[in-house]
């Protein structure tokens, strides 16, 4: 297989996005996700103060562990310019998973509301960039996959159909 005109730009874009998404995930996991933010989101969802006191610390820990996982996987996307197929499939999987955050409603609106009320519009930026950007990159990767039927928009070698034994009429 040989590269198409989209191969290299797609690989470089994926690596850049991986870095941006890792940074956004780090800010989200360690600046935005705090006991106060999670507690406020739980209160907005109708939880009692006792439920908040009991559940918020564990939820913060869980969200940070998930965040670290996404951070590491996003950093692995820096290997995309090497053109290995595994980086394509990893990029596709992680971007789809991240896009499910806000785009598909996996992040409850009370969390976004609590974040907005605590940090203002700037507090929503990490989620919007990471989840929204992942949705865009996932679509680009899927379009390239459908169009080229292989990772990284590679061109398949052309086959001389006239010389193919299955096509001969003799």
Give residue 156's pLDDT: 80
Q: Using pLDDT thresholds of 50, 70 and 90, give the confidence band for residue 54.
A: very high
- The number of domains in the chain is 1
Supply the pLDDT for residue 144: 96
Is 146 inside any structural domain? yes
Residue-wise pLDDT tens digits, 96-134: 999 998 777 778 889 999 999 999 999 999 999 999 999
Q: Is residue 163 part of a domain?
A: no
Q: What percent of the chain is modeled with pLDDT above 90? A: 84
Say what the pTM is: 0.86
Average pLDDT of the residues of the chain: 91
Is residue 112, in this structure, part of any structural domain at all? yes
Establish if 160 belongs to a structural domain: no
Within a domain: residue 13?
Answer: yes
pLDDT at residue 162 greater than cutoff 80: no
- pLDDT number for residue 160: 47
Q: What whole-number percentage of the chain has pLDDT above 70?
A: 92
pLDDT over 90 (residue 85):
yes
DSSP letters spanning 62-129: HHHHHHHHHHHHHHHGGGGGG--HHHHHHHHHHHHHHHTTTTTT-S-HHHHHHHHHHH-HHHHHHHII
Helix, strand, coil percent content, the chain, rounded in steps of 5: 75, 0, 20
| Residue 50 maps to a domain | yes
Alpha carbons 2 and 83: distance in angstroms, whole number? 11
Q: Is 15 inside a domain boundary?
A: yes
CA geometry: angle at 98 spanning 151 and 101, to 5°? 150
Domain contains 164: no
User: Residue 130 is part of which domain span?
Assistant: 2-155
Render pLDDT for 59-79 as a digit per residue (tens, 0 to 9). 999 999 999 999 999 999 999
């Amino acid at each position: 297989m040989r590269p198409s005109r989209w191969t290299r730009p797609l690989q470089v874009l994926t690596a850049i996005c991986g870095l941006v998404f890792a940074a956004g995930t780090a800010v989200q996991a360690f600046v935005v996700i705090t006991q106060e933010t999670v507690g406020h989101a739980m209160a907005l969802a109708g939880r009692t103060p006792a439920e908040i006191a009991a559940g918020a610390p564990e939820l913060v820990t869980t969200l940070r562990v998930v965040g670290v996982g996404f951070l590491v996987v996003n950093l692995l996307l820096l290997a995309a310019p090497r053109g290995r197929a595994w980086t394509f499939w990893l990029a596709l999987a992680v971007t789809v998973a991240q896009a499910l955050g806000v785009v598909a409603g996996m992040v409850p609106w009370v969390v976004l509301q609590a974040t907005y009320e605590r940090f203002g519009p700037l507090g929503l930026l990490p989620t919007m960039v990471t989840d929204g950007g992942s949705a865009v990159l996932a679509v680009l990767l899927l379009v390239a996959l459908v169009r080229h039927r292989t990772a990284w928009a590679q061109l398949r070698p052309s086959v001389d159909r006239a010389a193919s034994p299955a096509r001969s009429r003799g």
